[in-house]
Amino acid sequence: MIKLSLLMKKFPLFITFFLTFCLSFFLTNAFSQATLVPKSELTPAKKHKDATEVITHIINSYHYRMKPLDNTLSSSIFDNYLKNLDPNHSFFLNEDIQNITKYRDKLDDALLNSELEPAFDIFKIYRQRVKERIEYAVSELEKEFDFEIDEEYLFDRRELSWANDREELNEIWRKRVKNDMLNLLLITGKEITEIKDTLRKRYQRIYTSTFQLDSNDVFQTFINAYTTSIEPHTAYFSPRASENFDISMRLSLEGIGAVLRNENDYTLIQKIIPGGPADLSKKLHAKDKIIGVGQGESGEIIDVIGWRLDDVVELIRGPKDTVLRLEIIPGKTGVEDISKILTLTRNKIKLEESASKSKVIDLPDLDKKIGVIDIPTFYVDFAAQAKGDPDFRSTSKDVQRLLTNLVKEDVEGIIIDLRGNGGGSLSEALALTGLFIKEGPIVQTKDSSGKIDINVDPDPSLFYAGPLAVLVDRNSASASEIFAGAIQDYQRGIIIGEPTYGKGTVQNIVDLNRFIKNSEEDHGKLKTTIAQFFRISGGSNQNKGVIPDIIFPTAIDIEDYGERSLDNALPWDKVEPARYIKVNAPIYYGKIRFLHKNRIKSDKAFKLLLEQLALVKSSNMKKTTSLNEDKRRTERDQLLDMKHELVNELRIVQGLEPLPKRDKTLEIDEFEEEDDEDEDKPHDVLLQETARILYDLIVIPDATAAELQALKIEQPRAINNM
């Protein structure tokens, strides 16, 4: 019996900032003899019905977004479920979609009544179509391929309709197989026979992994079609997925220290975790694509294109101090790049390596220094803190020490660099803000009942009162946005960079087993959104993110990134402002923007950086690719030559020696990696410009009328020093 009465108790407010994994299932050995699930076993169990009752009640009663489970939501669930199964419209036929459309407006009633048969019926059709497609793909490998024919392959079919018949779908897959052949030929240089063997294993893997999915996996996929129709951060974790989620929350995973996600058959590096082996190696970067995984110094590199994320994670995960080899396609240019193999040693994430660090930027033409504190995450050693250790590590304590050292070096001001900082401890976001203000509120939290709590500065003292800038980008999220938003609201410092990620919600993890008694089954967990953060000025960071006072021109395609790009994300909202006193009088950023824009107009390094971004954007926007070998090679070489040229131009304008002429068999990152260990390497263009902006902000308030006139800047009426 389900103890729904327990749900009436108030959920504890548990703030979670965590690594996101799309988990469904995994294998112990990728190519061991797998046990396939018979069709007769693909039926909903009692535990699934019980879990459905609890999940629907929690969401309908306690979720921050009150969205009725009706026909409108049912239609969204239907579309999401098909998207989860066949995102690229490569398996279902149009006739399948027509046949199952009868469920479009009935899934709401099915969920309310814990009737899960429609989800299983749809999955069985999908499973049959996978079998047919893999059989066809394997048969195509027996044929000869003519790479002199000038034809195109449309690899991104997400916005297209499903194929009308098998002949049309066969043609789609004929080109897919041919593209897979040509792609491996170009990026690996292997022989055709070896490539065919690799692809045969790849396709067989798709078949095997699909037919290993059991009723738990089907249930999780369907329920997540429901939860993501409500809001993107609400998710159900099956018992197996719950185990992996717990590992990620504890940060005790012994692996490479990277967040992965699936994207069009590839395993994409979403984020590098500070302090992990990948971060310390400087060889793996966000947006790189993992296409192969090997164990040890000489183990076979197993092709993982088309694998489910869990399987790739399982191959990468392993004991501390063991060697892992990854074959990747660098993400700086696109899928046309040449693959390369990296060697990493697994290890735990080291807190001391992910800790905040400082450095000094010299402005040589001005003979001035600006201090920089790089904060990769908001961390705290909870174990040491719980033991009462007065020297426990935390973001705020480390930054306090770094500030003291930088002030001793007579820096003119401080930059807090939050680029790529995805969040962390809420308490540390509060404590860090408190170093720069004397006292007051920092962030507001509103729960589903409308109650608002105000989180305040935990230490009513001011540690650093000097000039301050905060550098953010599109990957600055959660706790980073709380800090940057508070600094902006207090007018304590200037925010510079790109609009931030825009995650302003609070999640709670609910163990479903708490509400189902007399059962030895594990029912999994539900992560649900229960509250939203609001700035003390009243607006939310949700969706919009923190908008910098000075926005860098690198902020391109910002609407296609972050929270604002997610389906069903909570919209921007506002509440009543909290009571607080701004630190400074209004600052005339218009004058600072004028100097910034004038400076970057003639800054060749800045122009080259924007050209590099445009090159990547152009490559990533492609949805088709040529199946003509000569044309494909030419396009790829032109792309890599352009990249190489831009890298060298950037080095030259900064007074560095250009890299050697590009070897057509090597990817340019191999030269760049050697340069990573060299102190004589290109400086951070954006950080350098941030330092100059901060210096402008320091100088302008004290400038004379004549000096301002010389800069063509209108004299400020009233500006206080920060």
Catalytic site positions:
478, 489, 503
Amino acid (1-letter code) at residue 408: K
SS3 category, 653? helix
488 and 468 Cβ atoms separated by less than 8 Å: no
Phi, psi of 507 (to 5 degrees): -110, 150
Greatest extent of the chain over all pairs of C-alpha atoms, in Å: 86
List all residues 6 or more positions away from 341 whose beta carbon is below 8 Å from its beta carbon.
Answer: 292, 294, 301, 325, 326, 327, 328
Phi, psi of 154 (to 5 degrees): -90, 105
Amino acid (1-letter code) at residue 460: P
Place of tokens 């040449």: 338
* Nearest in space to 154 (alpha carbons), one of 306, 261, 264: 264
The alpha helices in 435-476, defined as continuous H runs, are none
Buried b (16+ CB within 10 A) or exposed e, 326-361: bbbbbbbbbbbbbbbebebebbebebebbbbebeeb
694 and 560 Cβ atoms separated by less than 8 Å: no
Cα–Cα distance, 55 to 510 (Å, whole number): 10
Rg (CA), the chain: 27
> Using the 8-state DSSP alphabet, how is residue 567 labeled?
T
**CA distances in angstroms from 590 to 420, 498, 582, 594, 697, listed in the order given:** 27, 17, 19, 6, 11
Cross-strand bridge partners of residue 206: none
486 and 539 Cβ atoms separated by less than 8 Å: no
Measure CA 244 to chain center: 18
Amino acid (1-letter code) at residue 26: F
DSSP 675-720: HHT-SSS---HHHHHHHHHHHHHHHGGG--HHHHHHTT-PPPS---
Half-sphere exposure of 557 (CA within 13 A, CB side): 10
438 and 462 Cβ atoms separated by less than 8 Å: yes
* Nearest in space to 455 (alpha carbons), one of 511, 384, 533, 389: 533
Cα–Cα distance, 273 to 350 (Å, whole number): 10
List all residues 6 or more positions away from 250 whose beta carbon is below 8 Å from its beta carbon.
Answer: none
The alpha helices in 559-710, defined as continuous H runs, are 589-601, 604-620, 629-653, 669-676, 685-699, 705-710
Instruction: Answer left, alpha or beta for residue 199, where phi above 0 means left and psi between -120 and 50 means alpha.
Output: alpha
Cα dihedral across residues 678, 680, 681, 684: positive or negative: positive
Q: Which helix (H) or strand (E) holds 468?
A: strand 468-472
List all residues 6 or more positions away from 282 whose beta carbon is below 8 Å from its beta carbon.
Answer: 673, 676
Two tokens, residue 444: 């507001």
SS3 category, 219? helix
Two tokens, residue 350: 């080291």
Residues in the chain: 722
